[in-house]
């Protein structure tokens, strides 16, 4: 059996909300699309399997395009687990695009809570508009809690504005995810009285399913050759019309279905997960392996470098070298010493490139392909 797949422009979050409500209730499946963004190479089908309620298109910041197919059961399981982890349902401020899973999660949790989110103006995130939205967040007796979801760069913008910072302290939880949250940024927010909850997940897991390192109660975690795998009721059906990729990414083992995240991680004795970075984000510099995610985390510990990005550059002498791209001036000798002390000589950045504005995806994540093209135009991937 199948059902229609309806594409909706994500520039109208209210329309996406209504479409998602219908999809979760058994109506046409929903495909939110970013208007004006490049299309995936193949058109979306007009029909999908009956179990599919939502399709999320993602090109990612480094990979190739894909369409993640999610069932209503998976979305609702993720929403229920999140509410349990946060202390109950509530009312949300929507600050993220609704063609990304994090923004769609805000809508799903609003639907299950029977509340309507306050929506920020679409486009560039503005701290003043965020504070205005919080002022409009009336909370009734059936939804006594306040929530929002941000990416790290949005949290950094909030902390630059006194009124927005004060507004953020009014939330019962401010979820921060989509990428690694720099420890200094998180600490600044906590010091300001903001109840930050760092999240980890993907479209393939219906969004965040690990909060502050702790998996939801229904989520299983395992390391396979150092790579993190996740199992639980919120896993996607797979990739639409791409059985080969689905088979590479999802596997059945020990009576459970597992999602291969592609991330290196460590799991403590208490079950807490520490994500170390992408397994494929490693360069070989002078014969030594250098994980760029670890270099980036070290760089972001320096003052004013919360949003710095570390990329790779081709080097005739070393093969590849790390390069820091940042909006704030940074002394090369300082960052080389800071990184080298912790990670060794090969990890020391070869250069610091200061830009007026980092290339960003609509999700608020750095556009890492565009960042690499800035410093290594001949070596950067073009697709």
- Class of CATH domain 281-375: alpha beta
pLDDT over 60 at 61, yes or no:
no
Alpha helices for the chain (secondary structure H): 13-24, 72-86, 101-113, 127-135, 152-159, 162-168, 183-191, 243-249, 292-299, 332-343, 368-375
Q: Which two three-digit tokens encode residue 75?
A: 């979305």
Phi-psi map region of 379: left, alpha, beta (phi>0 left; psi -120 to 50 alpha)? alpha
| pTM for the model | 0.82
pLDDT over 90 at 303, yes or no:
yes
Q: What is the CATH number of domain 2-274?
A: 3.40.50.12780
Q: Is 299 exposed, middle or buried (0-12, 13-18, 19+ CB in 10 A)?
A: buried
Domain regions of the chain by residue span: 2-274, 281-375
Average pLDDT, the chain: 91
pLDDT over 50 at 71, yes or no:
yes
Strand partners, 251: 258
Measured CA to CA, the distance from residue 110 to residue 92 in angstroms comes to 7
Q: Tally Cβ neighbours within 10 Å of residue 39.
A: 11
Q: Write the pLDDT tens digit of every residue in 118-169.
A: 999 887 899 999 999 999 987 655 557 999 999 988 999 999 999 999 999 9
């Amino acid at each position: 059996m199948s059902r229609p797949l309806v594409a909706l422009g994500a520039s109208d979050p209210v329309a996406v909300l209504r479409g998602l409500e219908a999809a979760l209730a058994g109506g046409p499946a929903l495909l939110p699309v970013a208007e004006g963004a490049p299309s995936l190479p193949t058109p979306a089908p007009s029909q999908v399997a009956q179990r599919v309620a939502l399709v999320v298109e993602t090109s990612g910041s480094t990979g190739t395009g894909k369409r993640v197919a999610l069932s209503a059961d998976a979305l609702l399981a993720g929403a229920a687990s999140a509410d349990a982890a946060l202390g109950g349902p509530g009312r949300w401020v929507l600050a993220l695009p609704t063609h990304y899973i994090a923004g769609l999660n805000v809508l799903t949790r609003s639907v299950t809570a029977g509340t309507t989110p306050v929506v920020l103006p679409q486009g560039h995130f503005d701290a003043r508009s965020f504070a205005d939205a919080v002022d409009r967040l009336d909370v009734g007796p059936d939804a006594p809690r306040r929530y929002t979801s941000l990416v790290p760069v949005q949290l950094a913008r909030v902390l630059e504005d006194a009124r927005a910072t004060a507004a953020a302290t009014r939330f019962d939880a401010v979820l921060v995810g989509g990428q690694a949250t720099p420890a200094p940024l998180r600490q600044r927010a906590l010091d300001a009285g903001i109840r930050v909850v760092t999240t980890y997940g993907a479209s393939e897991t219906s969004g965040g399913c690990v909060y502050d390192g702790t998996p939801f109660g229904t989520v299983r975690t395992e390391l396979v050759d150092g790579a993190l795998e996740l199992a639980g009721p919120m896993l996607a059906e797979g990739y639409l019309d791409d059985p080969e990729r689905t088979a590479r990414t999802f596997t059945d083992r020990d009576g459970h279905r597992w999602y291969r995240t592609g991330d290196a991680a460590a799991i403590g004795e208490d079950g807490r997960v520490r994500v170390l970075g992408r397994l494929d984000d490693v360069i070989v510099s002078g014969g030594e392996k250098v994980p760029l995610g670890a270099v980036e985390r070290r760089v972001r510990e320096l003052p004013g470098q919360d949003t710095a990005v570390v990329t790779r550059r081709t080097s005739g002498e070393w093969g590849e070298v790390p390069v820091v791209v940042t909006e704030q001036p940074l002394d090369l000798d300082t960052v080389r010493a800071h990184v080298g002390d912790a990670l060794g000589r090969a990890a020391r950045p070869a250069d610091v490139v200061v830009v007026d504005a980092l290339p960003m995806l609509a999700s608020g994540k750095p556009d890492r392909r565009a960042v690499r093209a800035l410093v290594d135009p001949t070596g950067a991937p073009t697709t």
